[in-house]
Chain A
Amino acid sequence: MFRTISQRLLPRCTSMRQKHTLPDLPYDFNALEPVISAEIMLLHHQKHHQTYVNMLNQTEEKFMEAKEKNDLKTMIALGPMLRFNGGGHLNHSIFWQNLSPNGGEPEGELLEAINKDYGSLENMKNIFSSATVAIQGSGWGWLGYNKTTKTLAITTCANQDPLEPTTGLVPLLGIDVWEHAYYLQYKNVRADYVKNLFKIINWKDVSVRLAFAKQ
């Protein structure tokens, strides 16, 4: 997040904050059709995620200004904005990678872990789906990794609360059930959206995240 410029160039130490930027999608906006429409992908990426990025940068700016003035009350007051927009940025950055037009099926160590902790892929998907569909309001369903117990876990977070800072679990696969993620296409039938989403999961990405988490 910060770079320190050499003291030979600037006699007083200065740090420069690198701004967060919207990551590109690894596929075209229409690549996930018919599961997720191009219209949704466009709005979701260029409006919603972009807004989280912009607001996160603004919030970090204000936070640093407050820090320089030693204004602790403001630093604390900015917490919810940092969490909401920072979480939004973290979550969506994972989400775009979690999806793929040709995602395949879980294999290798990921499949072993799923079978060990859930009995079967089918069982994991059922538990994951029910938990996610039952979320009250806006939030995310997550398949996560518990580094302490070395097990997979399914849980949910409200709004944009990011999984790891909130629960300690390492995020492997997220399902966004904010209405903006599906409403234009699925209307109120969240269950259909969640069911269809499993057709476009990038299981290689989920495997890579698990491998990293285990290191």
Chain B
Amino acid sequence: MFRTLSQRVWPSRTVLVREKHTLPDLPYDYNALEPVISAEIMQLHHQKHHQTYVTSLNQAEEKFLEAKEKNDLKTMIALTSQLRFNGGGHINHSILWQNFSPKGGEPEGDLLKAIEANFGSFDTLKNGLSSSAVSLQGSGWTWLGYNKSTNSLAIATCSNQDPLEPTTGLVPLLGIDVWEHAYYLQYKSVRADYVKNVFKIINWKDVATRLATARQ
């Protein structure tokens, strides 16, 4: 997040330069996930919602650093809510775009072994993720996560944009966004249909890579 400029250039001060967060590109076209998720939703979700989290996150970090320089602890604390909401929004959506793929597929190899060890079968996992996602009250995410302490998989939910790892310690592998903006234009009130269909476009290779990295 920070780069320290050499003290040879400015002998009296060390200056911290913050790199700004940027909106990551989608690894596919806006219409690539149709008919499961419409191009209209993908465009709004990426260019409006995720972009806003990025923009607001940069603003919050800017204000936080200003407050830090003035040793204004009250303001630093007051900003944590914005940091969590927008930072979480940026983290979560950055994972989400990678979790999707037009080709979908099925879990294999070590990932499939882990799923079977923890849930009995892939179907049981899907059922568990689905019920959790459908019954989530309000806005939030259902996650398949990895518990590094117990070397096991777990299903967890977070409200709003609370990011999985800072909130629960679990490493995020696969997220299901059930904020209404994720599906409403297409599925209206029927969240269950959206959740059911979303399993057709999961990039299980990405999920497997996240698990492998988490286990290192």
Contact = CB atoms under 8 A, between A and B. Distances in A.
Contacts of B139: 137-138, 179
Interface string B179-191: 1110011001100
Contacts of B81: 136
Interface string B132-145: 00000111100000
A48 B188 CA distance: 10
Pick the 3 closest A-B CB pairs, nearest first: A179-B180, A137-B160, A159-B138
Given A84-B137, A183-B180, A184-B184, A137 B159 contact: yes
Contact of A184 (B137, B140, B159, B185): B185
A80 interface: yes
Interface residues of A, number: 20
Interface in A162-215: 178-180, 183-184, 187-188
25 contacts: A43-B188, A47-B188, A48-B189, A51-B189, A80-B137, A84-B137, A136-B81, A137-B138, A138-B138, A158-B138, A159-B138, A160-B137, A178-B180, A179-B139, A179-B179, A179-B181, A179-B184, A180-B180, A180-B189, A183-B181, A184-B184, A187-B48, A188-B44, A188-B48, A188-B52
Nearest to B89: A136
A179 B179 CA distance: 8
Contacts of B185: 183-184
A84 B140 CA distance: 15
Contacts of B137: 80, 84, 159-160
Contacts of A137: 138-140, 159-161, 179
B49 interface: yes
A160 B138 CA distance: 8
A18 to B, nearest CB: 25
B85 interface: yes
Interface in B119-164: 137-140, 159-161
A180 B137 CA distance: 13
Given A136-B160, A159-B138, A179-B180, 19 more contacts: A43-B188, A47-B188, A47-B189, A84-B137, A136-B85, A137-B138, A137-B160, A137-B179, A159-B137, A179-B139, A179-B179, A179-B184, A180-B189, A183-B180, A184-B184, A184-B185, A187-B48, A188-B49, A188-B181
Interface string A42-86: 010001100100000000000000000000000000001000100
B181 A136 contact: no
A139 B139 CA distance: 9
A187 B44 contact: yes
Interface in B151-206: 159-161, 179-181, 184-185, 188-189
Interface string A102-145: 00000000000000000000000000000000001111000000
Nearest to A85: B137
A158 B184 CA distance: 20
Nearest to B86: A136
B135 to A, nearest CB: 9
Contacts of B48: 187-188
A188 to B, nearest CB: 4
Nearest to B82: A136
A184 to B, nearest CB: 7
A188 B159 CA distance: 19
A183 B49 CA distance: 12
A43 B189 contact: yes
